[in-house]
């Protein structure tokens, strides 16, 4: 909920039948509300959230922990 008590939502950048994709071009990726919510959607729909980041991106410990908790539902791919 936002500060005005309005539920917020999010959409993946792309979707397929078995996966949702999020494309981030950042030097550090943290566990955000968007990632938490999309991971929840992935778990509920039995799909995988695939987050594509640059090879040099540093993954924050909290996000790495979530990826370890949900290995079937959250994958972080480092790409060129």
5 domain-assigned: no
Measure the CA–CA gap between 1 and 76, rounded to whole angstroms. Answer: 26
| Domain that includes residue 72, residue range | 14-79
42 domain-assigned: yes
Measure the CA–CA gap between 38 and 32, rounded to whole angstroms. Answer: 10
63 domain-assigned: yes
Measure the CA–CA gap between 27 and 58, rounded to whole angstroms. Answer: 6
1 domain-assigned: no
48 domain-assigned: yes
4 domain-assigned: no
Q: In terms of pTM, does the model score above 0.95?
A: no
Is 1 a residue whose pLDDT tops 90? no
3 domain-assigned: no
64 domain-assigned: yes
- How far are the Cα atoms of 1, 25, 67 from residue 48, in angstroms, in the given order? 24, 20, 11
- pLDDT category at 28 given cuts 50, 70, 90 is very high
Domains of the chain: total: 1
Is 18 a residue whose pLDDT tops 90? yes
């Amino acid at each position: 909920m936002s500060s005005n008590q309005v539920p917020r939502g999010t959409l993946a950048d792309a979707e397929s039948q078995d996966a949702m994709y999020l494309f981030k071009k950042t030097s550090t990726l943290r566990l955000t509300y968007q990632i938490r919510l999309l991971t929840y959607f992935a778990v509920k729909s039995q799909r995988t959230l695939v987050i594509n980041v640059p090879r040099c991106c540093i993954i924050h410990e909290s996000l790495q922990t979530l990826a370890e908790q949900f290995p079937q539902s959250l994958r972080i791919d480092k790409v060129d």
